[in-house]
Structure formats: structure tokens, C-alpha cells
Amino acid sequence: MNPLRLVVQPQHCIGCRACELACAFTHGAEGQPGASRCRTLTVGKDEYVPVLCLQCDHAACVQSCPTGAISQDPVTKIVHVDQEVCVRCMACTVACPFGNMHFDPNGQFVHKCDLCAGHGDYPRCAMFCPTRCLSVERMEPVS
Amino acid sequence: MEQTGPSTFYMTINGRRVQASAGEYVLDVTRRNGIHVPTLCHHPAVEPFGSCRLCMVEVTKEAWKGWKGLMTACLYPAADGLVIETDSESVHRVRRNVLDLLLARCPDSGVIQKLAAEYGVTRTTFTPRENPDLCILCGLCTRVCETAATAAITTAMRGHERVVGTPWGGPPPDCIGCLACAHVCPTGHITFEEHGLTRSIWGREFELERCADCGKPLPITRDQAAFLCRRQEMDPSYFSRCADCQRKMVAERMGRMARWQTLGLAQEPAERGKEVAR
Amino acid sequence: MDTVRYETVDAFRDHAAALRGSDLARRRRVLVCCGTGCLAGGARGVAEAFAEHLPDNKQTELGLVVKRTGCHGFCEKGPLVVLMPRGTFYRGVKPKHVPEIVERSVVGDEVIEELLYVDPGTGKPVAGYGDIEFYAKQTRVAMRNIGLIDPANIDDYMLRGGYDALARALSTMSPEQVLQTIEAAKLRGRGGGGFDAGRKWRSCKRAGGDVRYVIANGDEGDPGAFMDRSIMEGDPHAVLEGLIIGGYALESSQGYIYVRQEYPLAVEHLQRAIEDARGRGLLGENILGSGYSFEIEISRGGGAFVCGESSALMRSVEGKVGEPRAKYIHATDKGLWDRPTVLNNVETWATVPCIVEKGPEWFTGLGTERSKGTKAFSLVGKVKNTGLVEVEMGTTLRQIIFGPGGGMLDTGERGKFKAVQTGGPSGGCVPESLLDLPVDFDTLTEVGSMMGSGGMIVMDHSTCMVDVARYFLSFLVDESCGKCVPCREGLFQMYQIVSRICEGKGTPADLDKIDDLSQAIILGSLCALGKSGPNPVLSTLQYFRHEYEAHINEKRCPAGVCKALITYSVVNDRCDGCGACLSACAVGAIMGTPKKGDTFKIDALACDRCGACVAVCKRGAIAVA
Amino acid sequence: MTQSTQTQSMTTEVDTRPAEEILGQYPADARYLISVMQDIQLRYRYLPREALERVAERLGVPLAKVYGVATFYKAFSLTPKGEKELRVCTGTACHIRGAPLILSELTKRLGIKPGETTPDMLFSIEAVNCVGACALAPVVVVNDVAHGNVSVTGVRRLIKAPRKSGGAGGGTNKTTKKQDN
């Protein structure tokens, strides 16, 4: 299957934050909601932008990690943090030019959007988005 | 060179047939299969070391004619036909003694107390150390410092005098204050403090990098940023803003783009202007 | 003779033949032992006196040469001077004796009786080298040249057949044939475990890759062992030749000799030998025109016993802390700088040229079924003749100790044989009942000890076996690298337990604790240091359990060694009031005035039981209870 | 029995030129670390921090690693050693022939423990592993000269002569030398 891509169209965002809730509940543990990997920002009057990881190729987070804990899956193109390997030096949280590396101060771990890999493998934020703001499309096959 | 064996094969762990592949260690295989083997000195970010001896398992093979040996799972290469017991009597004897010894060394460590209790040791049967601390000398801190940072700390001395420390016991000149050592320490022996723009660890104070926009402290030190630029070959601008400000910038820009898009324009006028000028 | 570089094997052979047929080979030799032992006894002065009384022109005139040699092994009696070919053997020579020796024995033909070795058995002086029991009962292979040649002179080595084996290997054998020869000889490593050298070489060769290393382990750390020191100091070319032949068999181009920091003279002699061999074309580029090139570098140790362990040694050569690594992947696959590496001990390498020269059948003709050849031992402790002996494998402990060793040092009840410690801190103590054990790698392991590198420490009844166990534990606690828990913490706790027993605070439960902990240390330690660390305790516990029990149950040290369990007192009718003990006592615990007839007293509270008074008392008037 | 990890208390400037000279004799490769340090130890009788900083820089080894090596191996000392280094062999042969007695005699007479140096910088005592001169047990090595069959009284002789002239200061080196034969 071709890799998924999240498409964000802020013009449709109504600031309902359903995406944040969906994300937090999906990635929580033992029924507790976790911090959302998706953040909706208010940029003007009634103007909202959900900011999520773009799963960049040659990502800054990957490059900045001194232990090689962050990598991009060659097939799914998802940039993933291996929590076992991570030493929490926080370099990636600063390095991401889009501010999409989050740190959970309670659980003491770095997290980011993984397109719900392992959680139904389909982005929940998009599933719960009441408008067309967040949608999913399949990329062209990797050559 | 001829191929010495197939790249995937089967071995038996606690009577269960499990698949493994060349290049894996026994511990990788047990972990993948949810078989619990305790460890204290293991961390996937660094090379296996084999110092705590807790992950010892009993290994044999049909060809060994009944001979069994205790091996550290973290270092023993997975191989075709291995028969492994992770909880045999001799395995327990080693683990119980190791934990008893560690409890004599670090009687106040909650982590060790808990693990030791699992092997029936609630109080050490040995002579407890005078003035104990929480360091079990697993060497994770020094190893992670070497792989992820600057090898600023080291094990010094040898034998029973061995300690983890800094050159001449003073503030380590090469330290970048990244806290990786503190985060990997299994017993919480390595401590640090953060006040405002200052972080202190190993008796050294570090100034935190500040966000170029909002001025708030970033979770990395100036030395760390400089180190990352050098070692990871990145431009300093990558380490100049906080995640909040980065997100704000992205959101504002995307918001603007959305605004133009609603107006039926494909690109921001300013950007288009630039392109034309070029 | 002028320095020559042999461009071909034939050139080497011609020169060697010329050398052996020359006047130099026929000259009489005055050998002055300049081994560490004799140097400590003042051999340098003796050698200088000979140089003064026999200048070069006089040596030529008299048709003789004066040589400073390596250790003769009979260190107890040094400084030693041997006159060859007659074999007159003078011991305890001082510079003042030299003029007399020159006049009567060198220029003249007399034997100076006062300087001869007196046989302790017959009480008669022995004139000849070969007649002395210490030497007569030895078979020297690895130590074949030591004491007979000047280690700083390559010609001396060549006069005794040196480098013939290398020339033979390079000109008539393929690397594979050399390897097969070593395999056929069933040579086992002389450094400790006795691993089959041929098998080791074979697996290294099989490991593939272009770069391989060979290493000579000269980190002789076992306390009480100094054979390797003597070989490196006294016959450095033998080590080089073995290493070059090994390098050729393994198609390696780089060898290392790792020498203990404590052996500066060995470094000096090896360095000199390397330079000389290189100058002759026996080392370096295109050796003897064969196309084979090989370099040797000396790596000095930093003073750490654990570096005798192969993986720790390799880290040390790399310039790192000497911490062992797990050996699930062998050094023959991934050793020095992760390249296939063969590491053998100095004695093993020194044996290699003999095997190549004389053939594997000759070697397998010596020794026992599973341990071939000979083994060098350093025989020390409470024996009459301490020093180096090399005997055939399978010689019994009794034959060694009461043969070359000359029997026990002291007379009386306390001077009787109690045990012999072999294998250093990894070995154990063998009791009297096992004295007729034929010594080889396997028999010693079977009785709970080890061959080790060949240290043999003889103990009499004045030695406390619990104290010996404690001694080895304190050594290991100090020398453990501290990497793994069982060794670092376990041996330390074991030391605490045994110390408690020595102090009379032990309980019967301690012995069970020792047993359980020992098993965990043996099973759980990372390297051989830890795995064999409990051996000295276990073997003394096995054979001398009653001594442990005496300490625990009766609070008594049968040998009178453990300080907490003994008291000193003055035996009045033996004391003559000389007062030697008064000045010997550093804590002022002895009361009395030094005059004839006064009686001395020891204040038991002030006494720190150091034993200084016992050591100085010439009349044995201080009793230990 | 261990080396002191305390920071150098002396504040005198250390001349690093000899260290630079030693470094100049070796290729700038991490594998020569131990060799370089041995030469420095020989020259300075200890490893001055300033010298080790040069070593770390030149050989490209982190300073902490250099420090680790310096404290791991017995040959190295981070504190200056006395003019006369008395190394008491504690090998097995020496042990059973009375080395503990020799050692305790020395520590009592000099008032320092093994590993320490007298305040006047004249003597250091080290309890060392077998020096390989077992046939002469017990052995004390004084600045690389082995003294065999040492007795309690003999040991006193080893520490006597320089003591007497110790008060006179620097000019007494010659009298101390004689003692070594």
C-alpha cells in the first residue's frame, strides 16, 4: 500500500479541536488521554490552523538526534521515535522548524504525530474532523 | 565467502519455539517475544556491555551433548538451534547474588530493592557499604555520553574503588549539559537542577539557549546547541526558537496561505512579487 | 663482526655457518649473570670488574669472551659466574672476587672451592654446572639459551642455532605447512588455560579478511611467576623468531609484544633485538628475500593484572582502559582493532622455533598424553633453591620441589611442607597428599588448581592457609577491573568474610555463604579473572577446611599468622638481653634494658603483632601463641 | 592502596614543554596514549593535569578518557611522587616471606600509608604486585633498583640516609644517589 499523507486545509478549520481530542484519546494509556500531537492555533479572528508533523524527508529531528532514535520508515514514510533508544536530550524538540516535536513532562518522553501507526493505522484526527480541514490521501508509489 | 547459515532461524526459549535472525542478540529475541529478562546496564542507544550480569540465561544446544552455560543475553548472539532457559536454578543463583551484592552497595535504591525482592532478597546478607549512594556502576551514563555526546564523564579507578566521575573530580570541561546521562541512569543517581536560564549538572552550570522570538529558555544548553551543530552538521538556526514560536510561525504562515486560497489566489502576492523580480 | 643484511636465505645460512665456524664460536666464555635477581645482588659490579681485569685485547689474547647473560634461574645464589665450556659454576660472586677468578680460573686452570655451590644433600661443593641438581633435572626448551648467551647480541643467538627455524620456514615451508606443524605438535598455550595453540591459529586463519595480528603476551601478572620476564630479558630473539614464524603462518604483517610495566629491562632488550633483527633483514620488509614482510612493535603495559586477560590486553594495546569484553565472539575473529588476532604467551612463542626446527614428533615425544613438551616454572617460597626450572610435562610436584628445588628451606616442625600454590590468583593450593601428581594442564585443573603461567609457591607450616586465601582475595579485589558486579562486589564481600574469619569473628554459616557466593561468582563473572577468582578460597577450603574451622570454632590460627588470634611473649631462658627487639619494635611494646641477664616483657595491649621482634631475634626467644 | 583523586593542591605552574617534547615523539594517534603517559610519568614523576590536557588535545582523546586511563593503571599517579619511590613487592612469594612486615615497618617509620608521599617529598611508598624477583623475596624496589632479601633492619637502612640530609634542601641529591649502588 502506498504511504498515507495528512492534508491540512486551514481555510476549513472551525477551531473545534475534535482533532486534538481524538489524538489525545488515541495515544493515551490505560484509558487516560495523553497529550495531543496535534495543536490547533488561533491566528486571527475565527481563523484556526491545526499544526501537525509533516513527516518530512530528511527531517531536522532525524538529523539532530545524537542516538539515532528517530527515523523515517522507508515504506510508510512515517517519522518515528524509538522510545527505547531515546535519551531525552530534547535536541529534536528544538530542531523541528515546525514545532511538532512534543515533550510530555509527566511521562518524560518525546512524542510526535505517527499518523496513528499501530492505533488503527489511520489518522484519527482526520476521522473526527467535522469539516474537510484534515483529510487523508495516498501518495504516489515510491520509485 | 560462503554463507555460514540462514539469516532467519529458530531457537527455543523456555520451551517455546521462536524465530530469530542473524545479527540479533538473545535479549532482543526474548524482548520481542515478551519473555521477561531483567537488565540494569542495557540501553538500546548504546552497545551492549554486559556489566550487571542480571540478564544471564542458561544456554545449550543439542550438539553440546548436555553441556550448559550461563551467558549474558544482551551479548550472546542469537543462533540456530539454541535452547535457552531464562529462569533456571543457576540463573536464579546468579541473579539473587548479584542483587544481594547490589543491595549491599546501594541499600537505599528503590529500583534495586524492588528487583531484589523479586528474587527473595529483602535485606542484604553482605556487609553494607559505608556512606552508600545510588550508583550501581552500570556504566550507562558514561557510555551514552560517549555515543550521544562528548565522553565528558568516565569510569575512574578500578576494582572495588571504581567510580563514575569527571576528570580530577571537578566540573567536566567537555560536558554540554544535555542530561542524557541523568535520563538513562536506572537508579536516579545522577541529579541536575534547572533555575530560570541555568541548568546545573556534574558541578557545572550551563546557560540555556533562549528562544529568539519570545526569549523563553529552550530545553537545550548553549554548549549542547553548539555541539549538535558541529556533530550533526546542522545550521545554528535550527536551535534558535522554541517549539511554541515555531508552531506559531507555521500557523500564521499557513493561515495567510489559507486566506489567499479562499480568495482564489494560488500564492501569496508578496512571494509572487519576489519570484517575478528574480 | 660487521653488520650484514641478509638479502636471501642462502646469505643468512652462509653467514650463520661462517659464524659457527669462526674463532668466536670456539672461544672460552665467562658468563656473568645479569638477570634481575643477580643485578639486585650486585652483578653489575661483578661484570664491570671483569671488564676492567679482562679488557678486549686481553680477551682476544686469552681466546675468550666475557658475556653479560640473562637469568640463569638460580637467583637464590646470585650473583652467578659460569666459566664455559668447562662449566665451572661460581655463586655469590662479589667484585672483590674477580681478580682471583681471573688469575686462578681464567688465566689459570684452577677451581676456587669457596665460590662453588655446596650441595645441601651431601654437603660437598659441586664444580660443574651440569652436576648441580638444580640444573641436572631440567629439560630446557623455552629457556634453552637463557644464561648462555648475551641477550643484546644477535650473533650469540645465531651461534646457538637462532633464526635457523625462520630460514627453514621461509625457504622450505608454506604458511599452511607451518600451521600444520604447530597443530601436529599439539602445542598448548603456556599462559594459563592451556588452549590448543594450533586450533587458535587455525580459527584465526579461517576468519578471513586481509589484516590479522599476532601478539605475544608478556604481561606476566601472576604473583610468584617470572619465567616470561627471564625469557624476554635473557633470550629476546627467541620470542621475536617465534612471533615472526607465527606471523608467517597466519599471513599477518604486524605483531605486538605486550610487556608489563614492571619489566623495563625486558623492554630494553626486546627493543634492541628488534633493531638488530631488522638490521639483518630478519624482520621488516621482505624478510630474507622471501617476499614476506612483518613488523613488531612493543606495547608497554600500565600496571594492571587484568591486562593478562586477552581481551583486556588488546584494549590496552589500543591505548584504552584494560576492561575485558565478553568472548562470545572470539579474538581470533574480532580481536585487536576488531581484526582476527592470535595471542599467545611469551613462553609459547619462544617454543615455536624449536618445534619448527626439530619437528612436531620431537615435541610430542616430550610430556604427557594431553600436554606435550616442557613447562617452565618459577619455583619460589619456602624451598632451598628458588629460581626457574623447566621440566617435562608430567614431572611430579615432588620431583620438582625436592629435585631442582632442593627440598624445604627451614627445618623443624614448622618448616615441613604444607602446600604448593600454582596458577597464581586463579589457581589453588595443592596439599601434601597430592605431591605425586604428575603436573600438566589437566591434572592441576582436576584437583582444583591451575597451571596458570607457571608460578609455583611452596608453603610450609608457618603459612596460614586462610591468610593465603585472604591474600589472594585482596589481590583480586585490587586488580579486578570493576566492570562486572560478581567480580567487583562479590570478591570484595568474599574478602570481607574471609577477613572476618582471620580476625576470629567468623561463624560456621560463613563457610556456606562462601560456597554460595563462589558459585555465583564463577557462573556470573564476565572474564577469567572473576570466574577463577574463588579458586584460592575453594581449594584451601577443600584441602585445609580444618584450618578454617580452627579459626572459627577455636578462635585459633594454627600457623600463628593471623594477628588477631596470636600473642607474642618472650621466652626468658632463651633471651640473652641483646636488645635487638627493643629497637625493632616501632610501637614501643617491649619493656626491658638491653643488658645480659635482663628479662624482657611484651605489653600485649601495645603490641601490634607486626612480628618485627621475631624477625630480628637471633636466638628465637620470642614465642608466638 | 589507591591513587588519590583529589585535585592538585599545589598551585605552582607546571612546565609543559617536556610533555610537548614527548608528544612530538609519537604520531598523533589515540593508541599511543598509554606510551605517552608512561613517558610523562617518568619525566615528571606524576601526571600533571596540564600535561594530560595537552595529551588529550594532541591525540584526540577526550580528557575524561585520559583521566580514566590515568586512574586505571597502577603505573600512573596524579600526585607527585617522592624523590625515592619505595615499591614494596607484595607478590605471593614475598608475602609468605614477610612482605607485610616490611610494609608495615615502612609505613610506621615514615608515617605514611601505601600510595602516599611524605610531606617533605622525599619518600613514597607503594605496595606493588609481584615485580618478578621472587627468588629474592622479600623485595623492595627503590627507584627501579631491586633490593632483595630485605629484612626489617635492612628496610630502615633504605630510608635512613636521605632523611638525615633532608633538612638541607635541594643540594643534597648527590648524597642520596650514593645509596643506590
**Segments forming the whole domain that contains residue D65:** 3-72
Do D89 and D21 belong to one domain? no
Is the pLDDT reported for residue D174 higher than 50?
no
CA distance B39 to C288: 56
Tell me which of D72, D99, D124 is where a domain ends: D72
Task: Give yes or no for residue C471 having a pLDDT over 60.
Answer: yes
Please indicate, yes or no, whether residues D155 and D90 belong to a single structural domain of this protein.
yes
Looking at the fold, whether D98 and D63 belong to one and the same domain comes out as no
Among C124-133, C210-219, C379-388, D19-28, the least confident range: C124-133
pLDDT at D163 over 60: no
Cβ pair C301, C25 in contact under 8 A: no
Q: pTM score, two decimals?
A: 0.92
pLDDT of residue C130: 77
Hey, what amino acid is at B201? Answer: I
Q: What is the H or E stretch that residue C65 is in? A: strand C64-69
Residue D31 domain flag: yes
Q: Which of D52, D72, D92 is the last residue of a domain?
A: D72
Is residue D50 domain-shared with residue D99, that is, in the same domain? no
Q: Which of C557, C523, C518, C564 is nearest to C541 (CA)?
A: C518
CB environment B39-58: b (16+ within 10 A), e (fewer): bbbbbbbbebbbbbbbbbbb
Q: Inter-chain contact A88–B261, Cβ cutoff 8 Å?
A: no
The CATH number of the domain where D26 resides is what?
1.10.10
Please state the rounded mean pLDDT for residues C13-29.
Answer: 91
| A and B adjacent (3 or more CB pairs under 8 angstroms) | yes
pLDDT tens per residue across span C110-137: 899 999 988 877 888 888 877 888 888 8
Ordered domains of chain C (ranges, CATH) = 25-135 (3.40.30.10), 154-364 (3.40.50.11540), 374-463 (3.10.20.600), 466-553 (1.20.1440.230), 567-624 (3.30.70.20)
ipTM for the predicted complex comes to 0.93
Which one has a higher pLDDT value, B135 or A140?
B135
Confidence of residue C73 (pLDDT cuts 50, 70, 90): confident
Per-residue CA distances from B243 to A54, A62, A90, B238, B246 (Å): 15, 16, 11, 11, 5
pLDDT of residue B36 exceeding 70, the answer is: yes
Q: What is the mean pLDDT of residues C15-26?
A: 91
- Closest by Cα among C372, C349, C392 to C185: C372
| Lowest-pLDDT choice from B128-132, C236-240, C262-266 | C262-266
Measured at the alpha carbon of residue B268, what is the angle toward residues B266 and B274, in degrees to the nearest 5?
Answer: 115
Same domain? For D65 and D24 the reply is yes
Is residue C601 scored above 90 in pLDDT? no
At residue D5, the pLDDT reads 41
Q: Pick from D20, D48, D72: which residue ends a domain?
A: D72
* D57 and D121 part of one domain: no
B28: pLDDT strictly greater than 80: yes
Label residue B269 by pLDDT band (50, 70, 90).
Answer: low
Chain centre to alpha carbon of residue D142: 10
- Residue C510's nearest CA partner among C523, C521, C497, C529 is C497
pLDDT at position D137: 86
Q: Is residue D144 part of a domain?
A: yes
State the average pLDDT over residues B254-264.
85
Which grid cell is A107?
511521562
Decide if pLDDT at B41 tops 50: yes
Q: Do B238 and A51 touch (CB under 8 A)?
A: no
**Architecture in CATH of A1-52+113-143:** 2-Layer Sandwich (3.30)
pLDDT (tens digit per residue) in C84-110: 888 899 999 999 999 999 999 998 888
- Residue in B90, B125, B158 closest to C482 by CB: B158
B173:D63 CB<8 A: yes
Output the pLDDT for position B266.
Answer: 64
Residue C138, C-alpha cell as written in the block: 631440567
Q: Which chains touch C (3 or more CB pairs under 8 A)?
A: B, D
- D162, part of any domain: yes
The conformation of residue C89, written as its DSSP 8-state character, comes to E
Average pLDDT, integer, range B171-195: 97
> Are D49 and B152 inside 8 Å of each other by CB?
no
Report the residue of chain D nearest C318, measured CA to CA. D31
D93 and D173, same domain (yes or no): yes
Residues 65 to 84 of B: which have CB under 8 A from any C CB? 70-72, 75-77
Q: Roughly how many angstroms between the first and final C-alpha of chain B, as a whole number? A: 58
Highest-scoring range by mean pLDDT, C137-141, C248-252, D157-161:
C248-252
Cell numbers 585445609 correspond to: C544
The model's pLDDT over C511-567, given as tens digits with 9 standing for 90+, comes to 999 999 999 999 999 999 999 999 999 999 999 999 999 999 999 999 999 999 999
pLDDT of residue D176: 33
Question: In which residue are the cell numbers 515504506 written?
Answer: A75
Cβ distance B234 to A94 under 8 Å? no
Domain segments of chain A as ranges = 1-52+113-143, 55-112
How distant is the alpha carbon of residue B156 from its chain centre?
A: 21
- The single-letter code of the amino acid at D71 is T
Predicted pLDDT at C7: 95
Record: contact B157-D2, CB cut-off 8 A: yes
Name residue B231's beta-bridge partners: none
- CB–CB of C481 and B127 under 8 A? no
HSE-up (13 A, CA, CB side) for residue B1: 7
Using a CB–CB cutoff of 8 Å, tell me whether B229 touches chain C: no
Domains A1-52+113-143 and A55-112 share a fold: yes
Backbone angles phi, psi at B270, to 5 degrees: -60, -45
What pLDDT was estimated at residue C159?
Answer: 94
Q: What is the mean pLDDT of residues A64-93?
A: 95
Alpha carbon of D91: minimum distance to chain C alpha carbons (Å): 5
* Torsion, CA C121, CA C123, CA C124, CA C128, rounded to 10: 50
Question: Distance from B143 to chain D by nearest Cα, in Å?
Answer: 11
pLDDT band at B5 (very low <50, low <70, confident <90, very high): low
Stretch D130-137: mean pLDDT, rounded?
81
Q: Are strands C213-218 and A39-44 parallel, antiparallel or unpaired?
A: unpaired
Averaged pLDDT of chain B:
93
Residue B177 burial by Cβ neighbours in a 10 Å radius (0-12, 13-18, 19+): buried
Whole-number mean pLDDT of chain C? 92
Q: Which amino acid is at B139?
A: G
Return d(Cα C205, Cα C216) in angstroms, integer. Answer: 17
CB C361 within 8 A of CB C354: no
With contact defined as beta carbons under 8 Å apart, do C356 and C168 qualify? yes
Beta-carbon count within 10 A of D131 CB: 26
pLDDT band at B209 (very low <50, low <70, confident <90, very high): very high
- Interchain proximity C526–B105, CB inside 8 Å: no
**Closest by Cα among B196, B151, B199 to B173:** B151
Q: Is residue D140 part of a domain?
A: yes
Q: Which three cell numbers stand for residue B158?
A: 578500578
Bridging pattern class, strands C455-460 and C374-381: parallel
Task: Please tell me the distance from the alpha carbon of residue C180 to that of residue C202, in angstroms, as a whole number.
Answer: 9
Q: How many CB atoms lie within 10 A of CB C590?
A: 22
pLDDT of residue C150 exceeding 60? yes
Q: Which residue type sits at C566?
A: I
pLDDT in tens, A6-62: 999 999 999 999 999 999 999 987 777 888 999 999 998 889 999 999 999 999 999
pLDDT at residue D136 tops 70: yes
Question: Looking at the structure, do residues D68 and D91 belong to the same domain, yes or no?
Answer: no
Share of chain C above pLDDT 90, in %: 71
Q: Does C522 touch chain B (CB under 8 A)?
A: no
Q: What is the pLDDT of residue C41?
A: 83
> Does domain A55-112 fall into CATH 2.30.40.10?
no
Contacts of D106 in chain C (CB under 8 A): none
Distance from the Cα of C427 to chain B's closest Cα (Å) equals 20
Question: Is D79 a domain residue?
Answer: no
Q: Which residue matches cell numbers 591513587?
A: D3
pLDDT tens digits, C560-600: 999 999 999 898 888 888 888 888 888 889 988 887 777 78
User: What is the C-alpha separation between C479 and D1, in angstroms, rounded?
Assistant: 11
In the predicted structure, residue D179 carries a pLDDT above the cut 50: no
* pLDDT per position as a tens digit, D63-88: 999 999 999 999 999 999 998 999 99
Q: Is C180 helix (H, G, I), strand (E, B) or coil?
A: helix
List the chains bordering chain A where 3 or more Cβ pairs fall under 8 Å.
B
D92 or C211: which leads in pLDDT: C211
Tally of CB atoms within 10 A around C519: 16
pLDDT value at residue D143: 86
Which positions in chain B touch C519 (Cβ < 8 Å)? Answer: 90, 93
Inform me whether the pLDDT recorded for A143 exceeds 80: no
pLDDT at res. D134: 80
Residues 6+ apart with CB under 8 A from C2: none
Q: How far is CA A21 from CA A26, A127, C528, in A?
A: 8, 12, 58
Cβ–Cβ under 8 Å, residues C64 and C81 = no
Pairing of strands B16-21, C374-381: unpaired
The answer for residues whose C-beta is within 8 angstroms of residue C457's C-beta and 6 or more apart is: C224, C380, C381, C420, C421, C422, D92, D93, D96, D134
Query: Strand A47-51 to strand A39-44: parallel, antiparallel, or no bridges (unpaired)?
Result: antiparallel
Q: Do D34 and C300 touch (CB under 8 A)?
A: yes
Residue D161, pLDDT score: 56
State residue A36's pLDDT score: 93
Which class for D160: exposed (0-12), middle (13-18), buried (19 or more C-beta within 10 A)? exposed
CA–CA separation, C436 vs D163, rounded Å?
A: 52
Give the integer Cα–Cα distance in Å for A90 and D143. Answer: 53
Between the alpha carbon of residue C416 and those of residues C175, C384, C428, D91, the distances in Å are 52, 12, 19, 22
Torsion of the alpha carbons at C33, C37, C42 and C44, rounded to the nearest 10: 50
Contact D175, D161 (CB under 8 A): yes
D109 lies in some domain: yes
Q: What pLDDT is stored for residue D8 in this prediction?
A: 44
> What's the average model confidence in pLDDT over D94-123?
90
Domain count, chain D: 2
Amino acid at B90: S
For residue D55, is it within any domain? yes
The minimal CB distance from B158 to the residues D63, D72, D78 is found for D72
Grade residue D165 by pLDDT with cuts at 50, 70 and 90.
very low
Residue D166, pLDDT above cutoff 50: no
Indicate the pLDDT class of residue D119, thresholds 50, 70 and 90: very high
Same domain, D37 and D114: no
Say whether both D31 and D66 belong to one domain.
Answer: yes
Work out the end-to-end distance of chain C between its first and last CA atoms, rounded to an integer number of angstroms. Answer: 66
Q: How confident is the model at residue B270 (pLDDT cuts 50, 70, 90)?
A: low
Q: Is B210 on the interface with C (CB under 8 A)?
A: no
DSSP 8-state class, residue A119: T
